[in-house]
Structure 1
Amino acid sequence: MRIMGLDFGERTIGVAISDELLWTAQGIKTIRRSKAEIDELAELIDKYEVREIVLGYPKNMNGTLGPRAQLSEEFSELLQERFQLPVKLWDERLSTVAAQRSLIEADVSRAKRKKVIDKMAAVFILQGYLDHRQRNV
């Protein structure tokens, strides 16, 4: 059993997957938003035997919900209907900032950062969820 983490952006979806022990998250792909995005996710769900999805939930810094949160809720419902898997909405505040900082510290060029930022944000979202699970078992 593995858990998939998603960073649902306007143009791309960052994808991360847990290890089988549910301890660590690894970035695996950035999917371009298109009509084929659900098919690409289906392939990954089958390949990695995913049993749960964690979807980034973009809250404002004061905790309120904006228009992006509504889009995430709608996407969550779509994923639940299509894959018949539990989908958890997970607060993603500062995940992109943390991913950006991590890539800068690793001295990744601006052009390369742009290509992997959503995948890295998905890693931070999923890792936060996995850490929370470990503390609350």
Structure 2
Amino acid sequence: MPDLRTGVRLAVDVGSVRIGVARCDPHGILATPVRTVSRKGPGEGLTELTALVREHEPIEVIVGLPRSLHGGEGSAAEGVRAYSERLSAAIHPVPVRLVDERLTTVSAHQALHAAGRSGRKHRAVVDQVAAVMILQTALDNERNSGSPPGTALDAPQGEQNPGSEEDRT
């Protein structure tokens, strides 16, 4: 069985209104929910995600890329790619990886329904559950293949992490 890289990873499920965030333990065994971040406001959640990256010190951030059942990419995937580029610039040098997340939100709704949560209460946590599913799948894939999951985004050239002045010197 291939070795799994050690280190905490964060995963995000980027929606148009909310972003679900999950993390795993340092051994990459179990994904757990962290919180839901709002995309309202000028930073669209990037400030809070940057703070979570500083807090959890992940080796990478995994972003779920919504694809169609046939594997194609539509406007939702285009929006996630654009957001991921901005996230990558904000958290550089922490790498960002895009992984296929087909049907993750649907599966999250089904899991919450099966657990007895009413549909009205799903909204508050469904993005977190989807992020957990994205991360757990990525961890399992890496464990089985021995390779990091998905596709790495290239680090933006000439852009700095928008931390404090102290962080930039």
TM-score (norm: length of structure 1): 0.95
Match of 2:126 in 1: 117
Higher mean Cα deviation, 121-130 or 43-52?
43-52
Unaligned runs of 5+ in 2: 1-6, 147-169
> Which residue identity does 2:13 align to in structure 1?
D
> Which residue identity does 1:29 align to in structure 2?
R
- Give matches, 1:1-137, under 5 Å: 1-34=7-40, 35-36=42-43, 37-84=45-92, 85-137=94-146
1:23-60 Cα distance to aligned partner (Å, 9 max, x none):
11111101110324111111111111112011010111
Distance 2:106 2:75 in 1: 20
Unaligned runs of 5+ in 1: none
State the structure with bigger RCO (CA 8 A, min sep 6), 1 or 2: 1
Distance 1:71 1:10 in 2: 9
TM-score (norm: length of structure 2): 0.78
Distance 2:30 2:17 in 1: 26
Of all paired residues, the percent bearing the same amino acid is 34
1:82-134 Cα distance to aligned partner (Å, 9 max, x none):
11121111111011111111111110122221211111111111111010011
Larger fraction in strand = 1
SS in 1 for 2:125: helix
Computing the radius of gyration from Cα coordinates, the structure with the larger value is 2
Distance 2:125 2:141 in 1: 24
> Which residue identity does 2:109 align to in structure 1?
Q
Larger fraction in helix = 1
> Across the two proteins, how many residue pairs are aligned to each other?
137
Distance 2:124 2:91 in 1: 27
> Which residue identity does 1:77 align to in structure 2?
E
Distance 1:66 1:108 in 2: 31
Distance 2:34 2:141 in 1: 21
SS in 1 for 2:59: strand
